[in-house]
Structure 1
Amino acid sequence: MKHEKVAMKPLMLQNPFLKTPDEVANLFGLPLSARRKVKLIEFYLQEEVKLSDRSLDNLGSKGISKQKADKAIEPILDSFERRFDLDLDQLIPDGTLIFELDVLWQAAIKAFFCGLNSGELEVDTNCFQPFVAFIERRCREYLPQKEVILQLREREGLDPGSHLVEFYEPVIGKAHLRSCHQDVAIKALNQFSQDRSYSPTIEELEALSALHQDFNLSLFASLDLVALNLLWAGYNDEQRSEDSVLVEILAEDAKCYFGRLIAFIKRKVGCSFAKISELVPVQFDSSESGRTEKEVKIERLKEWRKGKTKPSVSTMDEFFSHFDLDDQIPLLIYGLICQAIDREISKYRCADERALLQQTYSPENYRRYYEKEKAAASLSTATTTTEATF
């Protein structure tokens, strides 16, 4: 068609039981724009996409002509398929619907491991088995909910808000909510379906918050297990520790969760914050502020600890590169998790809501999720090699 356009927009379905790959990337502050995604592909493949930045921005919004998109992007996709021995048409078949999250997650995890294996660091991908097992399990548990979505879509003029209980009932029992929270959440959802102006009780707010954060807590637990696998790679079973590092981090005292990670590092390394600040990467020009580079680094670390500024993923990566090689990726994982929690809490302005979320991310509540994911990972039938799984 002459006016047919192609767009590459982030997929945000806002289903708290199973987030999309784009929603998880957004949770961790990773780039979602079409321009950033294409630039990342260019970086890994060392090939240029012949589209201007303006066209890339249009690709992520109103779209560009299919002819222009095919001409610029098809060669890159062909190169990607050859390099990693993939068939993208099989990975995401034509006609895949946006709520077929099992298909989209399989493709996303495959692409993730392709990118991981193309980097300079040698990483044992088997260490990521707890994360893969978690996503695979959620995708299986999501299937009854997907059937409900298909049925609801067939009803013309349907108001989705009137069917909240119907939407959540197939999966709420699979979440790691306390049994009392499950019952209260269903009751509150039923009230919302009947009356949009309904004001939930404190008990109902607590249950709905637990439901909304359930995926995040399970995801963080699976990544906590991944970090432990990376930390203890090369050790035998008798030497490994199965204690959660994230529980320790959450128990630290700081004004933000990334600050708790810095406090955890300080305690483990046994040095002062001033000493840690020496590792902070900064763009320094003494003529601009009149301060020394040391003063700038100390001030930047204070900002991180208080949550006034957040280091970018690349800045975190550079900061953690000064630590032992085996600790670098685990520290980056915990950095991403802590920043994700800070982002979740920053969405709320009401002190009571923020306090409720802090309770949700308490070490005691998180430990329940960690123990459940640890047990699930050990019992999972997911194969331990990503090549066999995907």
Structure 2
Amino acid sequence: MDFSFDARTEELRGRLLAFMDEFVYPAEAVFAEQRASGIDPWSPPPVVQELKAAARERGLWNLFLPGENGAGLTNLQYAPLAEITGHSPHLAPPALNCAAPDTGNMEVLSEFGSDEQRKTWLEPLLAGEIRSAFAMTEPEVASSDAANIETRIERDGDEYVVNGRKWFTSGAMNPNCRIMIVMGKTDPSAERHRQQSMVLVPRDAPGVDVRRGMRVFGYDDGDHGGHAEVVFTDVRVPVANLVGEEGGGFAIAQARLGPGRIHHCMRAIGIAERAVELMCRRAASRVAFGKPIAAQGVVQEWIADSRVEIEQLRLLVLKTAWLMDTVGNRGAHTEIQSIKIATPLAVQRIVDRAIQTHGAAGVSQDTPLAELWAQVRTLRLADGPDEVHKRSLARRELKKYTV
């Protein structure tokens, strides 16, 4: 295993680091000011569009997507770039058109979509002209088991009729959201993992009721397009809006979540690096009881532990990326689950140490730490909770020793 960066990765890293310094970090204060003064909390502030234009001019666009539709990078090439965007997770990913849920939706359309679906929805998403949403989680069932979903997608002639209630439908509050990928049951009598299908539902289709944006630890996540509660009542879409085949929804969801998990984890490592930087700067400049708090043994221990954890996580994530490239997602199953378990929990600890180092400022709006903590804590639920991954990982290990 060789995790050294090749020439193309190094070149893109250099461009991206320069873009972060020149455009993204200076825009953070502007972004916060524009969000605070905006009438619609779900509309992206104007500075985001300015950043997108600057990123596209510099060739820093759709870096997440392999193949001819994207930048053509491997997972191992994209991983260090995703980490850099994690230093400013609310600004950098959307600036590069690399923000969820659009990334996962574009991957689904690229891999499973029909020619017409790609032309109608994938092309404007790739161009950054529209946004999208992903509707899978439901409030009435334990969505940690995706086979539980109750939303119905029933065939009626040349149409599908969708009825159900979703929440945490990421991206649906954004006024520029035009399309939702909705997962529901087409055949409740089929084998458990063949009951589900995915269909494309325009956000403005009759019967789609986007009721409210869900808050996450008090944050609206408006910069991500919000996480909406959506009710579908007799929503009709053409049969041509089916993604893939009937009964293929669960498999598509798993294919969608694999790359998403590694993207989340690399960005989380970027969050950890930002937290360590802030922690060190605060510790070196703040004096308590007659000396800088950096001189306190406990603070030095926090910094040392954080550095060790980051290096461990990065190596595990790079190994996972390498395996995904060489043996595929199935061959990297154990590692994908491992990074999903280990990364958010460790980064949560690191951000928590940075908050403690800052005292009251750490939980205020004057630093990004409180919002970063909320984002990382949420990752322990997104794309499957820790406990589900641990259960699956343990069962895989036990198979080696049981008949």
TM-score when normalising by structure 2 = 0.23
Which structure would you say has the larger Rg?
1
Larger strand proportion of the pair = 2
Larger helix proportion of the pair = 1
